[in-house]
Amino acid sequence: MTTLTTAFTDGENFDSFHPLVDEWTVWYDSPSKKVTEQNWMANIKKAADFQTLEDFWSVLNNIPGVNQIPVGANYHVFKNGIKPMWEDPANTKGGRLSVTFNKSAGDTIQNLWFRALAVIVGSDLSIENVCGAVFSNRKVSYRISLWLRNYETKDANVDIA
């Protein structure tokens, strides 16, 4: 009989991982007065890739919280191979669903961002129409957006919302 070592039986040496349906990439961009539409992609940096639930939490627990990034900065979490720009072929026919939160949301905003990501990356069904999610820290508000592959799939988009 084979015994499986899990994180619960040995937190240091376990061999149980939980693969995600899709691989994901975390991108970050910080505010810069020199960013233009033409050089925007040069300002965005790839921070990490993950493909298991364990890697997902490891990445999120080792980057600054969303309420700690500078005003004007953004986190982008997109399916691997899709760049967080409207010109990417996966996004050209898409749109986004956005929710804006007052800065008084404070620490709650981190929990809301985690929950949004957990839904899209941790789903046991691949949410085909979702390309990624973006967190934006702005002067007077926070914004969480889901980027959708095709704005014409209204039923699927309503289900996502």
Report pLDDT digits (tens) over 72-116: 999 999 999 999 999 999 999 999 999 999 999 888 999 999 999
What are the boundaries of each domain within the chain?
19-160
Cβ atoms of residues 135 and 31 within 8 Å: no
User: Who contacts 56 (Cβ-Cβ below 8 Å, separation ≥6)?
Assistant: 20, 24, 50, 117, 121, 122
Tell the CATH topology of 19-160: RNA Cap, Translation Initiation Factor Eif4e (3.30.760)
Per the structure block, which two tokens stand in for 24?
Answer: 């994901």
Cβ atoms of residues 64 and 109 within 8 Å: no
Task: Dump pLDDT digits (tens) for 119-143.
Answer: 999 875 557 889 999 999 999 999 9
